[in-house]
Each structure stands twice: as structure tokens, then as C-alpha cells.
Amino acid sequence: MASALALLSAPALANTTEPVKIGFVTTLSTGAGAIGEDMRNAVELAIEHLGGKMGDRPIEVIYEDDAFKPEIGKQKTDKLVKKDNVDFVAGYIWSHVLMASYKSVVDNGKFLVSSNAGPSALAGKLCNPNFFSTSWQNDQTTMAMGDLLNEREIKRLYVMAPNYAAGKDMVEGMERTFKGEIIGRDMTKFPDQLDFSAELAKVRAAKPDALFVFYPGRHGVQFLTQYAQADLAKTVPLYTTFTIDSISLPRIGEQALGSMMTMFWSPDLDVPANHKFVSDFKAKHGNYPSHYAAQTYDSIMLINSAVEKVNGDLSDQDAVRAALQAADFDSIRGDFKFGHNHHPIQDFYLREVVKDADGLYTTKIVTKVYEDHQDTYAAECKMSIN
């Protein structure tokens, strides 16, 4: 009898020795590779903090480079799902890459955790039980910016952003809350355009009260360099989202000091998990983590919380999904909870670029702009929490 019981239990025990397989899609080449590297560093730090295991199972991460192209991102996602048979897919910087890839995951019975991209469709009409976000919906950060501009009595605003899914979402989010007049709007070619001199000349001629821009990655560095060269700061105050971060700050330098931006997180957020994350990241890499890294760290910790809650048994999808929805983990942002569309309900802050005691550029929280904010598109999501 004892022998028979041992045989019956052997497959379940053997399964716990197999790795939890996570496919991670990001950009590791091209000029945007620095973002992907920051995200990979956060994955590795999270795995180190977990002791290399989720529950009793080892962790295997398969990194794939989307090369900043939707078609390549989809190809790599298909590989992870169909060939590598991963349990979870995470990552995704760019909304157009995510939109090209997400069905390859959710339609094949896998769970997708977006570590950055937050296109409006996936928060609303295309929400899916197997899709989760540990970042935000694209509009939210700029909605907070729109309200900030109102508080600062900006009446005439010029807008610049790249012409792709996230760029459109960012502008729409800001315009949803901004009460003044948009006197100029330039949606520039993406990702090819890195020369903004013509648009900045139009800004100078328009004489707005302020300029709002969204340019992530190397586009942000190029824009800020040209903005400084155009000497517009004296006459046109600049407000940004996702343009200045811990990756670009060392290259931007002094000209970023005092810049204001809105964000759900900051390195100085007074949360125990955040203190550990930031201090250990700095110790390993010599610089502050970006928000890309912070969101990615939470992605791995969310997945870990689900694996632990189901005792390492990922065969019951409903149980894994419920465990992901519960989000029972110590987040870098403090309390973490999902809305019914599987996007976080969270606070947003105004941050200012400063130098720390060691002379490193970073950001500090100035004030809270939103508390427990849910994205607008959740109302369009017909999915209900189990």
C-alpha cells in the first residue's frame, strides 16, 4: 500500500522540480536597448531576492529581443509559447509590439504580464482574463500631468509626441484633463525621427505658456538636447512624461535639474520593498533603477506570489489566474491591487529631478497628484473578477 501511494504521488513531486518558465520579451538591441537592459537587471535582482526559486521550483527566464519591431516581437512571442512552452510571458516596452503579440499568448492558454506597455485597448474592450499589467494604462500618467498643468494655470499649451499607439494614448490622456487650449500639436514619425528642430522652431513661433512632450528612450535624450540647444527653457517651460528617467539622466545632466514629471513611483518612495529594491539595484549597477526596472521587478514578484499560492502547481489555470488577481506580494509601490480589467489601481505623484548626497541625478516626490486611480478604459472592460 505504501509503495502504491508513493507511485501515485511521484508525478506531483517530480513536477515541483521542473522550472517555472518565464519568457521575457524586451528590446535588447537598437538605440532602445538600454531600457531592455534595465528591465533585465531588475528580473535578475528579483530572482536573486527569491533565492532562485518560486516556491520549491527553480526559475528559468528566457529573454527575447524584439528589436523594437512588432513583427519580430510577435515572432519571438510565438517561439516562447509554442516551442519553449513557457508558463508565463512578461516584459514588453512598446505598445505596438505588445498589441502585435498579446493574442499569441492569451489565445494559447498562457498568462501575459505586461511590465511596461499599457495600450488603451487592453485595459478596455480587448481586456482578457489572462492579461495582467504591473505598470499602468498609458493615459493615466498624462492625465495626472493635465491636472498638474491646470494647477499651474497653463492656458496655452503646445504638444509633441511620437505617432504610435503609446504616443496617441499619452496625448489623449493629457487632453482628457487639461482645461486650457492646445495651440499646436506635432505627432512625429516613430521610431525614425530624431531631429526635432523644425518642430521646435514652430514652438518658438507659437509662444505657448508651456510645452508638453512624451519621448521615451533615446528619443527623449535627443529631444532634450535639442530643446537645450534651441534655448527655449527661458521662454517655454517644459513638462514631460516618460522622457526623463534614471537611464537618461546621466546623459542629460544639469539641464534636467528641476524638471517636473508625473509617475506612479519614485526611487524615494517610502516603502520597505522599495528601499530594498533601490539599494540593492544601486549596489549592483552603480545607478538608480528606472521605472521600467521597478515595474519589471513587480512583474516577477507578482508571478512568484501566484506560483506560491498554488503550491507550485500551474496545471489549474483558474487557480493561477485567481492567484494573480489577488496580487498578494510586497510591491515596490506599497499596497498593490488590480481593477477588474487587471490593471493596477494606484497612486500617482509629481516628481522633480534632483541630485542626491553623492551627486547622482535622481528624482524625488514633490506631492501626490492622484490616489487610488483607476484608468478610464476600465469602464469598457466587460470582464468580471472571479
Gyration radius of the chain over CA positions: 21
Grid cell for residue 337: 491591487
- In 3D, which of 223, 249, 22, 231 has the Cα closest to residue 113? 22
Question: d(Cα 132, Cα 377) in Å, to the nearest integer?
Answer: 14
| 2-136+269-347 and 139-263 agree in CATH topology | yes
Position 10 pLDDT exceeds 50: no
pLDDT for residue 69: 97
User: Looking up cell 505586461, which residue turns up?
Assistant: 114
Most distant CA pair in the chain, distance: 88
Q: Which of 5-14, 74-83, 309-318, 354-363 has the lowest mean pLDDT?
A: 5-14
Reported CATH class of domain 2-136+269-347: alpha beta
Domain ranges of the chain: 2-136+269-347, 139-263
pLDDT at residue 14 in the model:
37
C-alpha 278 chain-centroid distance? 16
Determine the pLDDT at residue 385. Answer: 55
Q: Flag whether pLDDT at 296 surpasses 70.
A: yes
pLDDT (0 to 100) of residue 5: 40
Percent of the chain with pLDDT over 90: 88
pLDDT at res. 254? 85
Whether 183 shows a pLDDT value over 90: the answer reads yes
pLDDT higher at 181 or 384: 181
Would you identify the CATH topology of the domain 139-263?
Answer: Rossmann fold (3.40.50)
Predicted local distance difference test score (pLDDT) of residue 15: 53
- pLDDT tens for each residue of 99-140: 999 999 999 999 999 999 999 999 999 999 999 999 999 999
Grade residue 16 by pLDDT with cuts at 50, 70 and 90. Answer: low
pLDDT of residue 214: 96
Its pTM stands at: 0.90
Q: Hunting for cell 498609458 — which residue is that?
A: 138
Task: Round to whole Å and give the CA distance between 349 and 210.
Answer: 20
User: pLDDT at residue 256 above 80?
Assistant: yes
Contacts of 14 (CB under 8 A, 6+ apart): none
Asked if pLDDT for residue 233 goes beyond 80, the answer is: yes
> Per-residue pLDDT averaged across 14-43, rounded?
92
| Strand 20-26 to 210-213 pairing | unpaired
Task: Give the pLDDT band (50/70/90) at residue 51.
Answer: very high
